[in-house]
């Protein structure tokens, strides 16, 4: 079997020539991508100013994957499971920037009440099943959510349970046991499940090609008779098209999809990582494919917006983030006497 290293793999060609996107959809996706980018930039600033503690993993460069997939779901209905790189997934899922920032500050007003921090974002209201610090930990949780949707719909006759569960994870997770067990169950039971591999080439300092016998992860779907697709994770239009097709397949009862999005993180593994292991030429090459700049040009080329309109969105988003920081700084700390609260269900 011949495999192609990620650095040498051609950009996946998804035909989007006939893909329809309205102005409202385009601006909604653009705003979400900018929100993710500027939010993470602010996180870096706050971390180095001592406002955040522990490990903080940023999402810069991967925005097309989060926005392309999550913004194709039904808001506050479909389920999303994340990783330890979860801030932007939470924002795309609709969790207010104030609540995400407050969680990073460890405040009571955070979406996890200040108990979770950077790697454990959660919001029942927005169907965010959590960020997970352990690699592949969210895959069984998301698969379970998909199972209950199918059970409610098929066994209990709940027509409103035509919901979809999406699980994001990195390339390293595709070597873990949970990945294989859950894909097997999802395919066997035709669960309304979408597995999204955010293949950003690096697992901390380990190159993806050196860590797996089959670097082309989407091909692993074929083992389970599952639909697998590779997409350019720096092209939000291609990601959105692939996501919509997978969502439609899941809602129609046709089973799960494995999406491998080839993307790249622009910063180190975490803010504690000096990022000295990656080749500067590699970082420059991927940086030139910035997904936000690329999508901005796409919208303008098709007459859906103007540079001034996009600049106005940038300013609006920055105001939202500045407000989130002020809210987080002025929010109360969790009370020491409530240390054990939220561990068990309350009456």
- Domain assignment present for residue 341? The answer is no
Tell me which residue of 265, 189, 255 sits closest to 226, measured CA to CA. Answer: 255
- Domain assignment present for residue 340? The answer is no
- Domain assignment present for residue 52? The answer is yes
- Domain assignment present for residue 337? The answer is no
Q: In angstroms, what CA-CA distances link 334 with 45, 57, 101?
A: 23, 23, 15
Q: What is the domain range of residue 263?
A: 21-328
Q: What pLDDT is attached to residue 207?
A: 87
Cβ contact 113:335 at 8 Å: no
Round to whole Å and give the CA distance between 119 and 130. Answer: 9
Round to whole Å and give the CA distance between 57 and 277. Answer: 17
The total number of structural domains in the chain stands at 1
Round to whole Å and give the CA distance between 64 and 232. Answer: 9
Q: What pLDDT is attached to residue 1?
A: 45
pTM: 0.95
Dihedral of CA 35/131/59/3: which sign? negative
- Domain assignment present for residue 177? The answer is yes
- Domain assignment present for residue 6? The answer is no
Round to whole Å and give the CA distance between 114 and 81. Answer: 19
- In the sheet where 79-81 sits, what is the strand order? 79-81, 165-170, 193-199, 257-262, 227-232
Q: In angstroms, what CA-CA distances link 292 with 29, 111, 198?
A: 10, 27, 17
- Domain assignment present for residue 291? The answer is yes
* Helix/strand/coil for 67: helix
What are the mean pLDDT values of the chain's consecutive 10-residue runs (347 residues total)? 58 85 97 98 96 94 98 97 98 98 98 96 97 96 98 95 97 95 98 98 87 91 96 98 98 97 96 91 95 98 97 98 98 94 85
- Domain assignment present for residue 245? The answer is yes
> What CATH number is attached to the domain comprising 176?
3.40.50.970
| Residue partners of 112: CB distance under 8 A and separation at least 6 | 103, 120, 121, 122
Q: What pLDDT is attached to residue 5?
A: 57
Q: The tokens of 342 are what?
A: 């939220």
């Amino acid at each position: 079997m011949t495999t192609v290293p990620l650095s040498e793999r051609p950009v996946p060609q998804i035909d989007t020539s006939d893909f329809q996107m309205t102005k409202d959809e385009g601006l909604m996706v653009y705003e979400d991508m900018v929100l993710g980018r500027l939010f993470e930039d602010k996180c870096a600033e706050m971390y180095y100013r001592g406002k955040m503690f522990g490990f903080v993993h940023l999402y810069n460069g991967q925005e097309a994957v989060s926005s392309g997939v999550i913004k194709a779901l039904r808001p506050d209905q479909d389920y999303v499971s994340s990783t330890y790189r979860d801030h932007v997934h939470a924002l795309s899922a609709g969790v207010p920037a104030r609540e995400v920032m407050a969680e990073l500050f460890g405040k009571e007003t955070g979406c996890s009440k200040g108990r979770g921090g950077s790697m454990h974002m959660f919001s029942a209201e927005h169907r965010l099943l959590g960020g997970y610090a352990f690699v592949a930990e969210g895959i069984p949780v998301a698969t379970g959510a998909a199972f209950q949707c199918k059970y409610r719909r098929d066994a209990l006759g709940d027509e409103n349970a035509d919901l979809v569960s999406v699980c994001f994870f990195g390339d390293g997770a595709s070597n873990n046991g949970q990945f294989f067990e859950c894909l097997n169950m999802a395919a066997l039971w035709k669960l309304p499940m979408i597995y999204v591999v955010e293949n950003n080439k690096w697992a901390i300092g380990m190159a993806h090609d050196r860590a797996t016998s089959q670097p082309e992860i989407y091909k692993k779907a074929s083992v389970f008779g599952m639909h697998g697709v590779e997409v350019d994770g720096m092209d939000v239009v291609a990601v959105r098209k692939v996501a919509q097709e997978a969502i439609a397949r899941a809602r129609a009862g046709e089973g799960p999809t494995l999406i491998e999005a080839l993307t790249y993180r622009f910063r180190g593994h975490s803010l504690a990582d000096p990022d000295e292991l990656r080749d500067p030429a590699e970082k420059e090459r991927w940086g030139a494919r910035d997904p936000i700049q690329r999508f901005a040009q796409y919208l303008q080329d098709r007459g859906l917006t103007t540079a001034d309109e996009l600049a106005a969105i940038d300013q609006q988003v920055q105001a939202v983030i500045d407000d989130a920081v002020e809210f987080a700084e002025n929010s109360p700390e969790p009370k020491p006497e409530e240390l054990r609260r939220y561990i068990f269900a309350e009456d």
